[in-house]
């Protein structure tokens, strides 16, 4: 039995120590805040979306159950990996080596100021 229980991924939460700083840095990279609300006292939820829309990244306050410094597994897509790598470094993130392998789109990873790891690859035009 095959059923479409889920039809898309909406949001992936990433714990950060400073939500305002993380929001500002993602805005500098072209993300837009699609939600920024205090859902209950002391629990603020910020959703950031790339130009293409879903899924979004939720910036949530770190805590004992939500540590920072995680491998998010989030893969971001860009038209120009070299320019994207320079941009993430410019906002204060730590960019890894640009991987240029034959037959594979250019890619790299980066860590935000909390050590959360993200991955980037060029859009494959084929």
| Cβ proximity of 110 and 120 under 8 Å | yes
Q: Is the peptide bond before 51 cis (omega within 30 degrees of 0)?
A: no
Residue 2: the pLDDT is 66
Residue 28 DSSP class: H
| 116 token code pair | 């959360």
CA dihedral for 125, 89, 31, 58, sign (positive or negative): positive
Single pTM value for the model: 0.87
List, for residues 10-42, the tens digit of each pLDDT value.
899 999 999 999 999 999 999 999 999 999 998
- Mind listing the domains of the chain with CATH numbers? 11-122 (3.10.180.10)
Residue 1 has pLDDT above 70, yes or no: no
Contacts of 86 (CB under 8 A, 6+ apart): none
With CA atoms as reference, report the closest residue to 106 among 88, 123, 87.
123
């Amino acid at each position: 039995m095959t059923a479409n229980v889920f039809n898309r991924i909406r949001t992936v939460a990433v714990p950060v120590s400073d939500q305002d700083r993380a929001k500002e840095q993602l805005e500098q990279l072209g993300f837009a805040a699609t939600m920024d609300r205090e859902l209950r006292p002391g629990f603020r939820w910020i959703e950031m979306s790339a130009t293409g829309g879903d899924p979004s990244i939720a910036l949530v306050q770190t805590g004992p159950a939500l540590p920072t410094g995680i491998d998010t597994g989030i893969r971001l897509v860009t038209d120009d990996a070299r320019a994207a790598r320079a941009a993430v470094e410019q906002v204060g993130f730590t960019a890894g080596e640009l991987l240029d392998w034959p037959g594979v789109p250019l890619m790299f990873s980066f860590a935000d100021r909390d050590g959360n790891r993200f991955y980037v690859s060029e859009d494959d035009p084929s």
